C-alpha cells in the first residue's frame, strides 16, 4: 500500500495536501482531510452511490443499460424546444465545457448553481470592479481577515487553518499578527477561534447594508464621528472595526452566503464592493481584497469557462446555436415554466429550490447525471451515473480564489462508470447521429 498526495474535492478550497492510502482499487485511509473531505472520499463506496443507469417506468425506477438510457435522453432532448440545463458546480471544467456545447447544440438554456450563490458578486462586479486575492497571498501577506456572513468553520473547514493560522512569508508570526473579524447575526462555530484582539460583530439580521453605508461614510476619515450604534453593533465595536479597516496593511473580506443572500436587494453587494474600492483609494499603506466563498468545489469553474467561452458567466440562452440576450435566470425560467425538459448535472435542485419551483421542475421530463442519490434522484425520469471527479476521473477545477487546479484519478470507478464529460459528449454525439 502506497501513500499518495492528492487533492480533495470536498469543498471549493480544493486542499492539495491530503494523503490517501490506496491500491488503485479502494481507498483504505484518508489522512489530513476535514470532515467534509473525508465524506467526499467515503462517497466512493457509500451505500447511496448510483451505480447503474435507470429509467422511470410507471413511477418506479428500472435498471437499464447505458445505451438505452442515453437513447431515451436523446429522444427527450430531440423532442424538446426549450431544454434547460442546470448544475455543473461539482463537475470538471471539461464537463462544463461540454454542457455549454450541448446547450448550444440544442438551443437550450444553461445555468450553474453560482447564480444563486457567489455569481451574484461577480455580476455586481461588472459595474463596480472587484479586487480579488489568492489563498497564497492571504497566507503570506494578510493581517486582517473579515468573514462576513460566512460560517467558514463549517462550510469550508480548513480555510481558517490556511488563512488564519499559517505562517506566511511576510507574516511569520502567523495567527498572532492577524486580526479576525466575524460579522454574522448568529454566534456560529467560527466564533470559537476568536482571540482577545479579534472582533465578533453580531449584526441584526438583514441589516448589512446599514453597516456598509456607515463604514463608507466613516472609513479612512480620521475626523469623522461614527454613530453610537448601528445594526445591533455598539459604538465601541464599530470604532474598533473602523480602526482595523483604516490601519490594516493587507485585508481580505471573505463573502459568505449570509451577506450575498441577506436580502433580495442587490445594493448590498454593490455597496460592499464600493466600500472596498473606496478603502483601496483612500488607504495609503494597504490594500483590501475580496474572496468569494462558493461552496461547491468547481462553482468558480463554470463562471470561468462560460466567461472565457461566451463572455457571460451565467444564464446562457442559445437560439439558432448562438448566444442570445436574455434577462432570464434559472429561477425565472422554472417559475414561468419556460422549459419543456431539464438536464440536471451534479446537483440536487429539488432539495435546493423552493417547493413551488421543485413542483414545476418535476412536472416536465427530468434527466439527472450524478454519482449519488438525492431528492432529485427520487423524482428523475432518467438517471445516468457518473464517476466522481478528482477520485475516479481527472479534470480541471477552479479553487475558490479562481486558481485552476488539476484533479487526478485515484481509483477506478465501479461498474465502468464514465465521467460527466464523457456522458455529455455521448449525448452530443448521439444528437448528431439521430
Binding site for another protein (CB under 8 A): 35-36, 39, 42-43, 46-49, 116, 151, 154-155, 157, 185-187, 189, 202, 205-206, 257-258, 261-264, 295, 328-329, 331-332, 335, 348, 350-359, 362, 372-375, 378-379
Q: Which is nearer to another protein, 330 or 426 (CB)?
A: 330
**Structure-block grid coordinates of residue 235:** 459604538
Give CA–CA dist 267/411, Å, rounded: 46
CB of 201 or CB of 288, closer to another protein:
201
In this complex, which beta carbon is closest to another protein, that of residue 76 or of residue 350? Answer: 350
Query: Please, what is the minimum distance in Å from the beta carbon of residue 335 to another protein?
Result: 6
Closest CA to 252 of 335, 399, 146, 175: 146
CB of 9 to another protein, least distance (A): 12
Q: Are 144 and 350 in contact (CB under 8 A)?
A: no
C-alpha cell at 132: 480579488
Smallest gap, in angstroms, from Cβ of residue 253 to another protein? 18
Beta-carbon count within 10 A of 21 CB: 14
Name the minimum Å distance from CB 264 to another protein.
Answer: 4
Shortest gap between Cβ of 354 and another protein (angstroms)? 4
Alpha helix (H) residue ranges in 173-266: 208-218, 235-247, 257-260
- The least CB distance from residue 142 to another protein, in Å, is 24
**Burial class for 308, CB neighbours closer than 10 Å (0-12, 13-18, 19+):** exposed
Q: Which residue, 268 or 407, has its beta carbon nearer to another protein?
A: 268
Question: Please, which residue, 262 or 270, has the CB nearer to another protein?
Answer: 262
**Nearer Cβ to another protein, position 106 or 233?**
233
Site of grid cell 440544442: 106
Q: Whole-angstrom Cα distance, residue 294 to residue 255?
A: 9
Q: What angle do CA 83, 88, 92 make, to 5 degrees?
A: 135
Burial zone of 193 (CB within 10 Å; 0-12 exposed, 13-18 middle, 19+ buried) = middle
Choice between 22 and 155, CB closer to another protein = 155
DSSP string, 341-385: EEEEES--HHHHS-HHHHHHHHTS-EEEEESB--HHHHH-SEEEE
Residue number, 4 or 162, with CB nearest to another protein: 162
Instruction: Give the shortest CB-172-to-another protein separation in angstroms.
Output: 31
Q: Shortest Cβ distance from residue 41 to another protein (Å)?
A: 11
3-state SS class at 89: coil
Residues in the chain: 434
* C-beta separation of 140 from 289 below 8 A: no
331 CB burial (10 A radius; 0-12, 13-18, 19+) = middle
Give the shortest CB-296-to-another protein separation in angstroms.
10
| Residue whose CB is less far from another protein, 202 or 216 | 202
Q: Which residues contact 240 (CB under 8 A, 6 or more apart)?
A: 199
Kindly tell me which of 177 and 194 has the beta carbon lying closer to another protein: 194
Cβ 372 to another protein, closest distance in Å?
5
Amino acid at each position: 500500500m502506497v501513500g499518495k498526495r492528492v487533492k480533495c474535492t470536498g469543498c471549493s478550497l480544493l486542499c492539495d495536501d491530503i494523503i490517501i492510502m490506496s491500491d488503485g482499487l479502494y481507498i483504505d485511509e484518508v489522512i489530513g482531510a476535514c470532515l467534509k473531505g473525508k465524506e467526499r472520499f467515503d462517497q466512493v463506496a457509500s451505500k447511496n452511490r448510483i451505480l447503474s443507469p435507470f429509467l422511470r417506468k410507471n413511477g418506479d425506477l428500472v435498471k437499464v443499460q447505458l445505451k438505452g438510457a442515453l437513447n431515451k435522453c436523446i429522444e427527450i432532448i430531440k423532442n424538446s424546444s426549450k431544454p434547460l440545463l442546470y448544475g455543473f458546480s461539482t463537475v470538471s471544467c471539461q464537463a462544463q465545457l461540454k454542457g455549454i456545447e450541448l446547450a448550444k447544440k440544442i438551443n437550450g438554456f444553461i445555468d450553474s448553481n453560482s447564480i444563486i450563490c457567489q455569481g451574484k458578486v461577480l455580476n455586481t462586479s461588472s459595474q463596480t470592479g472587484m479586487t480579488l486575492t489568492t489563498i497564497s497571498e492571504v497566507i503570506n501577506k494578510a493581517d486582517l481577515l473579515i468573514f462576513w456572513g460566512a460560517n467558514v468553520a463549517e462550510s469550508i473547514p480548513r480555510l481558517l487553518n490556511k488563512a488564519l493560522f499559517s505562517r506566511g512569508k511576510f507574516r511569520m508570526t502567523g495567527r498572532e499578527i492577524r486580526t479576525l473579524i466575524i460579522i454574522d447575526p448568529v454566534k456560529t462555530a467560527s466564533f470559537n477561534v476568536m482571540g482577545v484582539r479579534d472582533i465578533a460583530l453580531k449584526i441584526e439580521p438583514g441589516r448589512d447594508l446599514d453597516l456598509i453605508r456607515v463604514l463608507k461614510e466613516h472609513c479612512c476619515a480620521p475626523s469623522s464621528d461614527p454613530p453610537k450604534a448601528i445594526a445591533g453593533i455598539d459604538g465601541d465595536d464599530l470604532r474598533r472595526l473602523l480602526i482595523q479597516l483604516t490601519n490594516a496593511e493587507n485585508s481580505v473580506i471573505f463573502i459568505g452566503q449570509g451577506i450575498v443572500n441577506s436580502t433580495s436587494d442587490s445594493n448590498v453587494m454593490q455597496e460592499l464592493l464600493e466600500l472596498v474600492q473606496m478603502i483601496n483609494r483612500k488607504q495609503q499603506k494597504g490594500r483590501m481584497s475580496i474572496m468569494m466563498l462558493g461552496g461547491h468545489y468547481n462553482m468558480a469553474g463554470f463562471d470561468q469557462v462560460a466567461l472565457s467561452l461566451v463572455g457571460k458567466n451565467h444564464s446562457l440562452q442559445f437560439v439558432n446555436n448562438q448566444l442570445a440576450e436574455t434577462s432570464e435566470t434559472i429561477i425565472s425560467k422554472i417559475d414561468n415554466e419556460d422549459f419543456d425538459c431539464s438536464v440536471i448535472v451534479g446537483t440536487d435542485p429539488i432539495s435546493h429550490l423552493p417547493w413551488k419551483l421543485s413542483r414545476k421542475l418535476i412536472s416536465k421530463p427530468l434527466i439527472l447525471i450524478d454519482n449519488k442519490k438525492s431528492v432529485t434522484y427520487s423524482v428523475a425520469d432518467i438517471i445516468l451515473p457518473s464517476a466522481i471527479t478528482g477520485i475516479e476521473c481527472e479534470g480541471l477545477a477552479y479553487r475558490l480564489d479562481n486558481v485552476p487546479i488539476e484533479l487526478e484519478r485515484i481509483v477506478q470507478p465501479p461498474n465502468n462508470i464514465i465521467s460527466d464529460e464523457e456522458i455529455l459528449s455521448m449525448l452530443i454525439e448521439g444528437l448528431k447521429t439521430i
